[in-house]
A and B are shown apart, each in its own frame.
Chain A
Amino acid sequence: MNRPIQPTYTLDKVGEENFALNLGPQHPGTHGVLRVILHMDGEYILKADPVLGYGHRMQEKIAENMTYPQTLPYVSRMDYLGALSYNLAWVLAVEKLCQFEVPERAEVIRVIATELNRISSHLLWWGAFLLDLGGFTPFLQALTDRERILDILEEITGSRLTYCYFRFGGLPSDVDEEWLTRVLDFIKEFRTRLPRYHDLVTGNVIFHHRSKDVGVILPFDAAGYGLSGPILRGSGIDFDVRKHEPYSGYDRYDFEVPVDQNGDCLGRYNVRMAEIEQSLRIIEQAIGSIPEGPVRSKVPKLIKAPEGEVAVAVETPRGQLVIYIVSEGGKKPYRVKYRVPSFANLSIFAKMARGQLLADALAILGSLDMVIPEVDR
């Protein structure tokens, strides 16, 4: 017989009904290669112990050994659903370190593309979350609309998932009027389709039974675990990096930060649905105010950063991403740290799962909307 490769786990409380249940690493409910060892008492969870690292690629060491432009296509491999936010964060961090200027037109196009990406990420979450709860139709509905965003982004970026569209000092290519009209057409049509999402799910009684008062995060815990993004805002704390430390001219747009006081799965659901509408508003304003001009400023061909350190924060679809770069001068960074939102957001799962039903724990995991390669880096 084969020897077990994992150490055996001892249970906290031994009784007739207690057992250890292994969830993942290959499990549809964990959205990637996440493993959770659950200590169960019948249907209830006594203790959850997440085991990470199946998707660990040592991104930080890779960044240390490559030049700044070489790292650019790598960062979007972490959060593949919100790739443009990562692309943007790396570009902003290097621009801040080397003090490159960015033309205003490029900033506006960056905002349009990033917000489209945020909507596509939230749509996939919406479908996948409801799939976790047992509904298959929403997934197809969401993917139909997401596909149109991917087509739009493909036209300017050339890829459909792991985008690398931004460059130091601007963009590689400009967008034309036709593309902007296409985005506006999409917004118009998507606005007519959005009520269907609410008709299908938001008011549904079964959905409410599964999500209301499930997995409540108190604002006090949220701060202790360093949560951010829709999960934090679902607990009633108004924190959005786009307002908190505005970048790429987000302070020019008029938008609200949706907050829900309940802190449960339904609260997080409501926040994300409201965020989709706010993103549409931002895109409309950006297209309405897009200036003429160049999209790329002059930057040296060989990028050599001065000595120093920078920390740049960006609001990804999942929360606050901080890229911290230490430079000792030269073509390569000395140290790069990615402070990723999913990592902090997943760290509270063990606390939330305690005492829950197994089925509810999967609903909680779905409502956290984490991307495992981002957690593992």
Chain B
Amino acid sequence: MATTNPLQRALDKVGIEYQPTEFPNSGLHCSLVLEKEQIQPLARALARGGFFIETVTAVDKIKDKVFECIYLFNHYEESLRLLIRVSLPRNRAVQPSIGKIFPGAVWHERETTEMFGIQFDGCPDSRNLLLPEDADFHPLCKDFSGVS
């Protein structure tokens, strides 16, 4: 019988194939590219499997006209850093929130919203976090050139 780890069990529950990467080279145990509908069921499975949230952020791939929404999860007992990548169109970036599954994700989602303009659908709190409350610019976008 093959030994399984908590990540494999969580991924099995939502029917995603488990493919570990070379951990020593990148510091990532597993890297996934998902559709935005898959994130909430997977987050639920991860929460049940004892995973904790490291961060939610994004990368602005302006050449491809997409935002890559990035999730990092890890496990307290084993070193299983999981990176999830979700591509969102730059002009209509809406992503389901996992703030109700992982309460710690709310602040990370608020930060991503103000920095990139990605909306998190169903996030319990969507006010600006680090920027002033009336700021409507998104500084981490690659086409941001400062405010006058």
What per-residue 1/0 map shows which CB atoms of B130-146 lie under 8 Å from chain A?
11110000011000000
Q: Which residues of chain B are near A339, meaning CB under 8 Å?
A: 54-55, 72
Prevailing SS type, chain A contact patch: mixed
The CA-CA distance from A222 to B53 in the complex, in Å, is 10
The CA-CA distance from A227 to B76 in the complex, in Å, is 10
Does B94 reach chain A (CB closer than 8 Å)? no
The CA-CA distance from A232 to B50 in the complex, in Å, is 14
| Interface contact B26-A309, CB-CB below 8 Å | yes
Does A331 reach chain B (CB closer than 8 Å)? no
Does A198 reach chain B (CB closer than 8 Å)? no
Partner of A224, one of B26, B27, B47: B47
| Interface contact B129-A53, CB-CB below 8 Å | yes
The CA-CA distance from A41 to B53 in the complex, in Å, is 33
Known A226-B53, A226-B54, A347-B107: A56·B79 in contact at CB below 8 Å = no
Does A20 reach chain B (CB closer than 8 Å)? no
| A residues 309-323 in Cβ contact with B at 8 Å | 309-313, 320, 322
Q: Which residues of chain A are near B6, meaning CB under 8 Å?
A: none
Does A160 reach chain B (CB closer than 8 Å)? no
Does B122 reach chain A (CB closer than 8 Å)? no
| B residues 26-85 in Cβ contact with A at 8 Å | 26-28, 47, 50-55, 57, 59-60, 70, 72, 76-77, 79, 81, 83
| A residues 327-377 in Cβ contact with B at 8 Å | 334-335, 337, 339, 343-344, 347-348, 351, 376-377
The CA-CA distance from A376 to B128 in the complex, in Å, is 12
| Interface contact A311-B103, CB-CB below 8 Å | no
Q: Which residues of chain A are near B28, meaning CB under 8 Å?
A: 309-311
| Interface contact B107-A343, CB-CB below 8 Å | yes
| Interface contact B104-A376, CB-CB below 8 Å | no
What is the distance, in angstroms, from A311's C-beta to the closest C-beta of chain B? Answer: 4
| Interface contact A344-B104, CB-CB below 8 Å | yes
Which A residue's beta carbon lies closest to that of B141? A61
Q: Which residues of chain B are near A226, meaning CB under 8 Å?
A: 52-55, 102, 104-105
- Chain A interface, number of residues (Cβ within 8 angstroms): 42
Does A179 reach chain B (CB closer than 8 Å)? no
What is the distance, in angstroms, from A362's C-beta to the closest C-beta of chain B? Answer: 21
| Interface contact B54-A61, CB-CB below 8 Å | no
Does B106 reach chain A (CB closer than 8 Å)? yes
Q: Which residues of chain B are near A324, meaning CB under 8 Å?
A: 55, 57, 70, 72
The CA-CA distance from A238 to B78 in the complex, in Å, is 11
The CA-CA distance from A265 to B79 in the complex, in Å, is 28
The CA-CA distance from A239 to B78 in the complex, in Å, is 9
Does A326 reach chain B (CB closer than 8 Å)? yes
A60, A232, A237, A311 pick with most chain B CB within 10 angstroms: A311
| Interface contact A52-B52, CB-CB below 8 Å | no
Binding site for B on A (CB under 8 A): 7, 52-53, 56, 58, 60-61, 96, 221-227, 232, 237-239, 244-245, 308-313, 320, 322, 324, 326, 334-335, 337, 339, 343-344, 347-348, 351, 376-377
Q: Can you list 15 A-B contacts with CB-CB less than 8 angstroms, sorted by A residue number?
A: A7-B133, A53-B128, A96-B27, A223-B47, A224-B102, A226-B53, A232-B76, A312-B27, A322-B54, A334-B59, A335-B59, A337-B70, A347-B103, A347-B104, A351-B103
Instruction: Report the 5 A-B pairs with minimum CB-CB distance, sorted nearest first.
Output: A225-B104, A311-B27, A53-B130, A226-B104, A339-B55
